[in-house]
Amino acid sequence: MAGMNQRPGAGSTANPRPRRVPALLAAATPVRTWPLLPALLLLSAACRDAPAPGPAPSSSAASAASAASAASAASAASAASAASPASATPAPPAGGILDLHVHLPARAAVPALLERMQRHGISRAVILSSSPLFPGARARGPFAELGPANDLVLDVAAAHPGTLIPFVALDLAAQRPADLDALVQRGACGVKLYQGNHELHERPLADPSHRPLWEALAARRIPVLLHVNTVRYRAELDSVLRAHPGLNLVCAHFCGARTALDRLEDLMKAHPSLLFDTSNGSAAFAAEGFASFEREHDRVRSLIARAPERFLFGSDLVPTQAGPDWPSAWDLQWEANLGVLRAERFAFWRTQPPLKALTRGEYRGLALPPEVLTPILRGNAERWLGACLRRLK
Ligand SMILES: [Zn+2]
């Protein structure tokens, strides 16, 4: 499971392997495993697709190491959260924040999700169908559980209209525009596409078999959240965007360019209508992004400030309730993904050389001014979601 982002592959090794075992924490914290832990690991790992140097670990060893990693991280998350720096946090926008990147792997988490959204001033969340992230999905094929995963987000959103906004997932090659239309008819607001994740990349994004769905998504202006590794698949993304200029596309995790600002700037220039989600996610993947933004503080800040309408807040939360410390782990992820945008300082794990252990720390945030921050936290996503959001109100 943890090997999802650890397989060797083509592409640059610009990004270090995410999710290393936080050795110091593992040593200091009793290691326990919980029934849902494998699911959590799969879910969070599947979201990442930084190029992965190094050999794949054997699955049992990797599972054990990752279980230790996640258990330790979860245990210590509350401590990191409690150590949250006291820098003043600007008030959320009137009406609350909209988080456009929350995976929903299980119905059981919904009450807690709603309760904790409120605590963070998040009034609405896009919930993403997450079939490729279901436990065991790799063995059965990444899209084997597509139907149940789509049913889940549609059902849950129907019970919380206007608060939870459903995005279904599609298999670009296997499905047709009629399938998309049927899902929209059932209430889908948008579509989450995973095929740009290197673990789920079965064929090029611009493959001819994908064309009917790209065309339909563009023609209907359906909001699309695309995960794409732009180290590996930049040319494919360029080709899709050139062929389908009507696509209403948000590219997740700063379009895979959080640690490569030249690439981010180039993507912005090459595709003026392309939008970017600000999610840095969790654990080592987030630590890598936060550290990069700290190093490049002024440049990131001015890059966002030059085009604030192109950035939309997301957390990439995977609300699984694994281990006793899940509430503080969720809190920490939200606080940090918001903190990097709005705070002078915020708490999160830092990766310490040489072992890449995760230890509690603080980062310098971007502290974006209100005129830049406010649309990122709400208005840009409202515009992107457009008609569907108005229907849900
Ligand atoms: Zn995600």
For residue 47, the CA-to-ligand 1 centroid distance in Å is 5
Q: Domain for residue 42, yes or no? A: no
Tokens of 276: 């970017």
What is the CATH number for 234? 3.20.20.140
Tokens of 336: 């940090």
Report the distance separating Cα 351 and Cα 331, nearest Å: 19
For residue 280, the CA-to-ligand 1 centroid distance in Å is 9
For residue 23, the CA-to-ligand 1 centroid distance in Å is 25
Residue 13 has a pLDDT of 29
Residue 353 has a pLDDT of 84
For residue 6, the CA-to-ligand 1 centroid distance in Å is 17
Tokens of 147: 């139907």
Q: Domain for residue 20, yes or no? A: no
For residue 118, the CA-to-ligand 1 centroid distance in Å is 21
Residue 88 has a pLDDT of 67
**Number of separate domains in the chain:** 1
For residue 103, the CA-to-ligand 1 centroid distance in Å is 6
For residue 104, the CA-to-ligand 1 centroid distance in Å is 10
Alpha helices in the chain (DSSP H): 23-28, 37-46, 59-82, 110-119, 137-140, 146-159, 177-185, 211-219, 234-243, 252-256, 261-270, 283-295, 297-306, 326-342, 370-374, 380-392
Q: pLDDT tens across 82-114, in order?
A: 444 445 677 888 899 999 999 999 999 999 999
Q: Is residue 255 classed as helix, strand or coil in its secondary structure?
A: helix
Q: Domain for residue 180, yes or no? A: yes
Q: Domain for residue 152, yes or no? A: yes
Give the single-character DSSP code of 71: H
Amino acid, single-letter form, for residue 156: V
Residue 141 has a pLDDT of 79
For residue 286, the CA-to-ligand 1 centroid distance in Å is 12
For residue 259, the CA-to-ligand 1 centroid distance in Å is 17
Q: Which helix (H) or strand (E) holds 251?
A: strand 248-251
For residue 128, the CA-to-ligand 1 centroid distance in Å is 8
For residue 110, the CA-to-ligand 1 centroid distance in Å is 17
Residue ranges in the chain whose pLDDT is less than 70: 1-88
Give me the half-sphere count of Cα atoms (radius 13 Å) on the Cβ side of residue 241.
22
For residue 316, the CA-to-ligand 1 centroid distance in Å is 5
Given a contact cutoff of 8 angstroms between Cβ atoms, the answer to whether 335 and 351 are in contact is no
**Which residues constitute the domain of residue 335?**
82-392
Q: Domain for residue 272, yes or no? A: yes
Report the distance separating Cα 355 and Cα 69, nearest Å: 13
Q: Domain for residue 281, yes or no? A: yes
Q: Domain for residue 256, yes or no? A: yes
Question: 361 exposed, middle or buried (CB, 10 Å; 0-12, 13-18, 19+)?
Answer: middle
What global pTM score does this model have?
Answer: 0.81
